[in-house]
Amino acid sequence: MFEAVLLTVITAATPLLIAAIGELVVERSGVLNLGVEGMMIMGAVVGFAVANQTGSGALGVVAAIAAGMAMSALFGFLVLALVTNQVATGLALTILGIGFSGLIGEAFIGVPGLKLPELYIPGLSEIPFFGPVLFQQDAIVYLGFALVALVAYGLFRTRLGLVLRAVGDNHGSAHALGYSVIRIRFAAILFGGACAGLAGAYLSLAYTPQWVENMSAGRGWIALALVVFASWLPLRVVIGAYLFGAVTVLNLHAQAFEFDLSSPFLSGLPGFVTGAIEIATTSQFLSSLPYLATILVLVLISANRRLTLVNTPACLGKPFVPDR
Amino acid sequence: MAQTMTTEVDDGKVRNDRSKKDALLDARGLTKRFGDILANDRVDLIINKGEIHALLGENGAGKSTLVKMFYGSLDPDGGEIHWDGRQVEIDNPAAARDLGIGMVFQHFSLFEALNVVENIALALPNPGNMAELAKRIEVVSRDYGLPLNAYDVVADLPVGIRQRIEIVRCLLQEPRLIIMDEPTSVLTPQEADQLFLTLERLAGEGCAVLYISHRLEEVKRICHHATILRHGQVVRECDPTKETPASLASMMVGADVAAVSASAQKPQIGAVRLGLKGLSAKAATPFATALNSISLKLHAGEVVAIAGVAGNGQGELFDAISGEMPVASSMIEIDGKACGTKNVTWRRRQKAAFVPEERLGHGAVPGMKLSQNIVLTRHSTGDGLISGGMVSIQQASVMEKRIKQAFDVRVSHDDPEARSLSGGNLQKFVVGRELDRKPGVLVINQPTWGVDAGAAALIRQAVIDLARAGSAVLVISQDLDEIFEIADRIAVISRGYLSAAEPAADMTRERVGLLMAGGAEAQGEVA
């Protein structure tokens, strides 16, 4: 039972983790892309459609990544070349993604999907308990972990990461030192788009292998919030994503568990206690728990204001126009 | 036209003295245009090897534009640059660095969230291993007397150290020409002396330095040659060691600059108008400075100046006095009334006026017209700007014209937006707006920061005149020349502690420097 719960936690956390780690890179470069939800849903529909038409899950995943990148390229062109407002452009990207995905997905509603195969890591997958949980997952789960490691290492241990952080911290200085702010930001935006597309593919090819309109259901927004609450630190994004996943799953189980207030155990309690239990066990309250718990924990770990300040990209959302 | 003729003759004479064969950088007819404005108009400039070359001029004379073309961050519209005898195109800063041109920026080009090694690595083409670079930084910085800890995060460091980072970063690129834009504006006199030693050593090693500064004393002291720009053109070249600061200033402005003097008229000291009593405040953010039991009595008729290196609590002190940061009620008194908890408007009604350091964004709203900016600080001070809840646009415009005229604010059209004014003009406006009220207490932070000689003299004289008319003036400044020029008494702020205000006549630069470097702190703790 516990094993099964852990498995569902991983499935719930993976799309958030992947989308958030991509957005983290974008924001570290100083760009705020609020279009994660739109890029994600486009990844989901394109991934599903291509997998369905070709019968290949791998091709579906590649197509989803390409779709996410195409959306982000549009965003990048608008905010970097035409210097449009980042917030408005990101919101428009989300609206476009939700609408356009509904149009593409029209033909695929109710069509049975194709689920990505689980990859059993030889040897490791046979370890009792840990084997099934950690080493019998589909490729995207592994890829998610690899991405976190790659981004964490890349940001803080490589020159490319240093330049990326520098551009996000002070684009004027980075430009004065001769770095191409626009090019670096465009690359970061494309990476974010690819991650969002991949997260979308996970939704429609692994999480629930089917196409349902608006199936990303706000996960892009959660991913955005996670990045901020995680103080732009990759490992904290992992904590946030898993915490959110865990509480989501627990609350599904809690909702399945019927509270019987008329039972002899509870009948002697005073009215306000039974009232509180009644409210606490309503499905609406339980559904809000993942949000509350994640915000609470991430606020607590970001209490170190100095660390947060140093990690906040100072140029986040500011337009950059080089003078020549 | 006659003036240009004499200049050319002068030019030729000076040039003959300077043999061209040592030329490292030879700029010929550089021209740069921004829209209708000709920022640089056929500028010729020769910098020799091992020469400390001053580039002088008022704000907007085109100095920054010129050096940006040398550093590759602007493309010239015309003219050519010869480097070591060969014509070159400097397309970007990387190309400039490849040639051996390094730059220390006026507004630091550092990344606050990164540490010293990371900042320096970003400027080097092949930084190599970070641990080795860290060692090299510590060795080179100590060697030049500018010691640095490689793993300090820039956000935690005071400005003096930040500038060291810029200079060490430049040195590690093994430059042949270092361009320095206003390098001493943030240094204590001792730190500035150390910088001059470093520059002289570099020059001795054959490195050329292009030195931009408003501080003519130091130009005279360390520079071998000076080129003076006015309205984008080279108007003079001279040997600054043979000039006086006054003669250099008049070459820059093109007219004599009136000397400002506080001692010309002895102050008539009156009652205490602004009292600070044990003013303390915790640091609001990790990068702010706490104020530690600051006490000061400011009398009618006098100008008291607070010296100190940037980031030692000047901003916090200003905010506490102006009312932007509330403190305990008894800590601040204006004309005997306790007002530590009162807001800015209440204090303005008590005839106090405040001019913050940052003129654009704090002193004035960039997107608002000058007349609207007047309403923002003077709506409640009995100037007839508000009647029945309505703004009197007519009255605002009358005041705008009056202030522009009295403080020589030059604008391109009537009642422009604040952002369209040059720094010096906007500063004259922001100061003039408050002086026009004849306030009883004036607190002014960095009155002439980045303002050219002519405008600075005007502002300083106006401030002195106000005090002599019976007001109390508190000037917070990092410019020691200015402080000695206008102050009757001088106090020094260091890490949020304030030294006792002593008569300016008893103070020396050395003593101020020692107080800046921590002496004020020791004094404050004893008190």
Examine the domain organization and report whether B209 and B283 are in the same domain: no
For the sheet containing B52-57, what is the strand order?
B101-104, B177-181, B208-212, B52-57, B225-230, B233-238
Examine the domain organization and report whether B454 and B509 are in the same domain: yes
Alpha helix (H) residue ranges in A109-233: 130-135, 139-157, 159-169, 171-176, 181-202, 219-229
**Beta bridge partners of residue B228, listed in sequence order:** B56, B236
- The 3-class secondary structure across B424-470, one letter per residue, is HHHHHHHHHHHHCCCCCEEEEECCCCCCCHHHHHHHHHHHHHHHHCC
Tally of CB atoms within 10 A around A133: 18
DSSP letters of B16-83?
HHS-GGGEEEEEEEEEEEETTEEEEEEEEEEEETT-EEEEEE-TTSSHHHHHHHHTTSS--SEEEEEE
Q: Are the C-beta atoms of A182 and A134 separated by less than 8 Å?
A: no
Examine the domain organization and report whether B228 and B283 are in the same domain: no
Q: Are the C-beta atoms of B331 and B277 separated by less than 8 Å?
A: yes
Distance from the Cα of residue B168 to its chain's centroid:
22
Q: Could you tell me the two tokens for A230? A: 């995680």
Can you give the residue range of the structural domain that contains B459?
272-526
Q: What Cα–Cα distance (Å) separates residue A157 from each residue in B93, B124, B131, B501?
A: 25, 17, 12, 50
CA atoms of A283 and A251, how far apart (whole Å): 9
Q: What Cα–Cα distance (Å) separates residue A209 from each residue in A110, A200, A215, B301?
A: 11, 11, 11, 82
Identify all chain A residues contacting B113, using CB atoms and an 8 Å cutoff: 165, 169, 310-314
Alpha helix (H) residue ranges in B469-508: 480-486
Domain boundary among B192, B221, B253: B253
Examine the domain organization and report whether B38 and B183 are in the same domain: yes
Domain boundary among B218, B253, B288: B253
Cβ under 8 Å to A: B residues 42-61 = none
Q: Is B111 on the interface with A (CB under 8 A)?
A: yes
Indicate the pairing of strand B497-498 with strand B489-494.
Answer: antiparallel
Q: Can you give the CATH number for the domain in which B283 is found?
A: 3.40.50.300
Examine the domain organization and report whether B415 and B491 are in the same domain: yes
Which chain B residue has the Cα nearest residue A164?
Answer: B122
Q: Could you tell me the two tokens for A147? A: 């991405």
Count the domains in chain A.
Answer: 1
Examine the domain organization and report whether B59 and B88 are in the same domain: yes
Which chain A residue has the Cα nearest residue B74?
Answer: A324
- Cβ separation of B118 and A162 shorter than 8 Å? yes
CA atoms of A311 and A6, how far apart (whole Å): 31
Identify all chain B residues contacting A323, using CB atoms and an 8 Å cutoff: 73-74
- Cβ separation of B121 and A159 shorter than 8 Å? yes
Q: Is residue A225 a part of any domain in this protein?
A: yes
- Cβ separation of A177 and B105 shorter than 8 Å? no
Examine the domain organization and report whether B17 and B70 are in the same domain: yes
Count the domains in chain B.
Answer: 2
Q: Is residue A167 a part of any domain in this protein?
A: yes
pTM of this structure: 0.77
From the list B260, B182, B177, the residue with the least C-alpha distance to B219 is B182
Identify all chain B residues contacting A178, using CB atoms and an 8 Å cutoff: 72, 92-94, 97
DSSP letters of B157-203?
S-HHHHHHHHHHHHHHT--SEEEEESGGGGS-HHHHHHHHHHHHHHH
- Cβ separation of B114 and A306 shorter than 8 Å? no
Q: Is residue B428 a part of any domain in this protein?
A: yes
- Cβ separation of B92 and A170 shorter than 8 Å? no
Which chain B residue has the Cα nearest residue A180?
Answer: B92
Chain B: closest CA distance from residue A291 (Å): 28
Can you give the residue range of the structural domain that contains A82?
2-230
Residue showing tokens 């909702």: A255
Identify all chain B residues contacting A310, using CB atoms and an 8 Å cutoff: 112-113, 153, 155
Q: Is residue A187 a part of any domain in this protein?
A: yes
Please measure the distance between the N-terminal and C-terminal CA atoms of chain B and give it in whole angstroms. 62
Q: Is residue A120 a part of any domain in this protein?
A: yes
Q: Is residue B134 a part of any domain in this protein?
A: no
Q: Is B112 on the interface with A (CB under 8 A)?
A: yes
Chain A: closest CA distance from residue B168 (Å): 15
Q: Is residue B30 a part of any domain in this protein?
A: yes
Q: Is residue B387 a part of any domain in this protein?
A: yes
Chain B: closest CA distance from residue A181 (Å): 13
Q: Are the C-beta atoms of B205 and B22 separated by less than 8 Å?
A: no
Each residue's pLDDT, cut to its tens digit, for chain B (527 residues) gives 334 333 343 443 344 356 566 889 999 999 998 877 788 999 999 999 999 999 998 777 888 889 989 998 888 999 999 999 899 999 888 889 889 999 887 666 899 899 999 999 998 888 888 999 999 999 999 888 888 999 999 888 877 788 889 889 988 988 999 999 888 776 777 888 888 998 999 999 999 999 998 788 889 999 999 999 988 899 999 999 999 888 888 888 777 766 666 666 677 888 999 999 999 999 877 667 899 999 999 999 999 999 988 778 999 999 999 999 999 999 999 999 999 999 999 999 999 999 998 888 889 998 899 999 999 999 998 888 998 889 999 999 999 999 999 998 888 788 999 988 877 889 999 999 999 999 999 999 999 877 777 888 889 999 999 999 999 999 999 888 889 999 999 999 988 999 999 999 999 888 888 888 777 777 766 55
Q: Could you tell me the two tokens for A25? A: 């890179």
Domain boundary among B189, B222, B253: B253
Q: Is B73 on the interface with A (CB under 8 A)?
A: yes
How many A×B Cβ pairs under 8 Å?
Answer: 67
Chain A: closest CA distance from residue B324 (Å): 22
Examine the domain organization and report whether B280 and B245 are in the same domain: no
Q: Is B366 on the interface with A (CB under 8 A)?
A: no
Among B75, B127, B286, beta carbon nearest to A305? B286
Q: Is residue B150 a part of any domain in this protein?
A: no
- Cβ separation of A169 and B155 shorter than 8 Å? no
Q: Could you tell me the two tokens for B385? A: 């700007």
